[in-house]
Structure 1
Amino acid sequence: MKILTLAPHKPITYAPGLISLVLFPVLCVLFFHQHKAFTQRNCIDLVMFNPSWPRLRPAEHKVSFPPDRSYIDVNLNGNPASDRSLLDFARMEIRTMLKTRNTTLGIRFHFGNKSQYWTYVNALDICYTEKALSWMAYQDYIYVVYVKPRY
């Protein structure tokens, strides 16, 4: 009589469990890939000026819009080569304006009737990458200025 002997036994495999362990992750990845779950989407915070805003502010906090500055006009008209060079010029001017903390100068982007959407997005991107804290979009313009901190 064998009381405590270890006899080799056949390993227990559960076929539906193995199939689900292998196939479900693969099917999930395929499903997510088909429904474009892995695409990266970006957005830009954008505030458009409303002409009724100055009336809603108290009298001691009223400011004029656009701010009283001498502006460098950047007229974007739809020609890709000239628009690229003008955007590079505006990037350099914004960079120098912010480095020198010039409160008398501003940059005004003007978008003509035939300007393309990529120029608008690049102008906004310039404002973000150069870390211009005070800029405002209004109608066909984007105004970029340096405002001295109040504290």
Structure 2
Amino acid sequence: MIEQRKKRKKIFYVPGMISLVLIPLICMVYFYKTDAFVNKGCIDVWFPSDSLATQKFLSVERKYKVYDFNSSAIAESTKLNNLQLELRKLNRENDTIKGIQIHLGNKMNYEVYVRILDILLIEGMPNYLQYNNDFFVLMIPKPKPKPDKSLKRLKVFVCGSGSLNVGADDWLKEEQEARRKYVLSLFKKYWILFLGYFGLVLINIFALVKFNKNRNYNQK
């Protein structure tokens, strides 16, 4: 005769389930409170000497268009957008007659200062200088290279759009590498929390297995 198996009640190890649920939540709250998920960066700032600024840079004559900032980034958002468009036009046309002067007021927020530096870097402005409470941006005439008539003209054939994606691919690889290093730095910095979590998981698994074995043995 075939022995019928008895139906057994499902066993839930309450302390283990609590630790498995609460500990990850506690870790997430701790990481959030300590700004562990915030990507921090920096911008290089260089302040030249007065002699270098006045003799080499500010001695160049330009018709400067002045942008005055004396408030928060939200209040100055329209003016910042106009500044970016004006810098883009100046760089694109290589205008050696006009220039842009950015005045930093006493009530201007630090966020506006960082935003101005961002705009200068984004637009790739080659020549700008901060002197006291002002940025001066201008273009330097670029010498035109003389064509060498002895060189033969080459015909270049490009298949597809691979050449257009070279810069984007390099940037994507750098971004992925930076994120990978950032995640590894989190594991190195908070390794004891991850180790404690996995230790509790193993303890709960062993305790649950032992509890089930003892209960089955007692029932027999």
Amino acid at match of 2:48: F
Note if 1:139 corresponds to 2:132. Answer: yes
Q: Which residue of 2 aligns with 1:112?
A: 105
Match of 1:41 in 2: 40
CA distance in 2, matches of 1:54, 1:79: 28
Write the distance in 2 (CA, Å) between the matches of 1:54 and 1:75: 21
Q: In the alignment, residue 109 of structure 1 is paired with which amino acid?
A: I
Tell me by how many angstroms 1:43 deviates. Answer: 1.2
Greater shift after overlay, 41-50 or 100-109? 41-50
Q: 1:63 aligns with which of 51, 56, 62?
A: 56
- For the residues of structure 2 that align with 1:124 and 1:49, how far apart are their CA atoms? 16
SS, match of residue 63 in structure 1: helix
Q: Normalized against structure 1, the TM-score is what?
A: 0.64
List runs of 5+ in structure 2 lacking aligned partners.
1-26, 146-220
- Aligned residue pairs, count: 117
Alignment of 1:11-30 (within 5 A): none
Q: Secondary structure of 1:52's match?
A: helix
Per the alignment, residue 184 of structure 2 pairs with none
Aligned mates of 1:80, 1:122 — CA distance in 2:
8
Alignment match of 1:78 (pick from 40, 55, 71): 71
Contact in 2 for aligned 1:66/1:143 (Cα 8 Å): no
Distance 1:76 1:99, change over 3 A: same
SS at match of 2:56: coil
Structure with greater proportional strand content? 1
Q: Residues 102 and 54 (structure 1 numbering): CA distance in 2 closer, same or farther, change over 3 Å? A: closer
Off by >4 Å, runs of 4+ in structure 1: 33-39, 79-82
Structure with greater helix percent = 2
Task: Measure how far apart 1:142 and its partner are.
Answer: 0.9
| In the alignment, structure 1 residue 96 sits paired with structure 2 residue 89 | yes
TM-superposed deviation, 1:106: 0.9
Query: Partners in 2 of 1:45 and 1:79 — Cα distance?
Result: 22
CA displacement at 1:74 relative to structure 2: 0.3
Over the matched positions of the two proteins, sequence identity in percent amounts to 25
Shift in CA distance, 118/79, structure 1 to aligned 2, threshold 3 Å: closer
